[in-house]
Amino acid sequence: TIDIALWKFETAKYYVTIIDAPGHRDFIKNMITGTSQADCAVLIVAAGTGEFEAGISKNGQTREHALLAFTLGVKQLIVGVNKMDSTEPPFSEPRFEEIKKEVSSYIKKIGYNPLAVAFVPIS
């Protein structure tokens, strides 16, 4: 995604706007624009071997996006652990738990309460 995409809907209790902000490093200004308007963020983390490790590394995008979200005032976070079908074996629970543990450790350092963050395996 390069541009910010918007979807809107209402429930009996809420008026919801979903903002799909770009994750690519070249479009970080667009991501900041979208994130600065958010009450909640869904942080997508790749589960693939090597992909997760790159994202959670010192200068990785997973860290950068989580830090930006918190800094921009997003207090509620959901973590989508994507590409679970590409783990070995596919949909590996130990891999999911490993990712959950590492991401929880990092988001706690920046100010989120990991116990209040939902981790959802997706593909």
Residue 33 maps to a domain: no
Residue 32 forms part of a structural domain: no
Q: Where are the beta strands (DSSP E) in the chain?
A: 5-10, 15-20, 40-46, 76-82, 118-121
Residue 58 in any domain: the answer is yes
Residue 97 lies in a domain: yes
| 29, part of any domain | no
The packing angle between helices 93-110 and 61-71, to 10°, is 40
CATH number at residue 69: 3.40.50.300
Cα–Cα distances (Å) from 47 to 3, 80, 86, in that order, read: 25, 10, 7
Measure the CA angle with vertex 43, ends 77 and 116; round to 5°. Answer: 25
The percent of residues in the chain predicted with pLDDT above 90, rounded, is 65
Domains: count for the chain? 1
Per-residue confidence (pLDDT) for residue 96, from 0 to 100: 98
Q: What is the pTM of this model?
A: 0.85
> pLDDT for 88-109, tens place per residue?
999 999 999 999 999 999 999 9
Residue 48 lies in a domain: yes
On whether residue 11 sits in a domain, the answer given is no
Backbone angles phi, psi at 119, to 5 degrees: -110, 125
Quote the domain boundaries for residue 112: 38-121
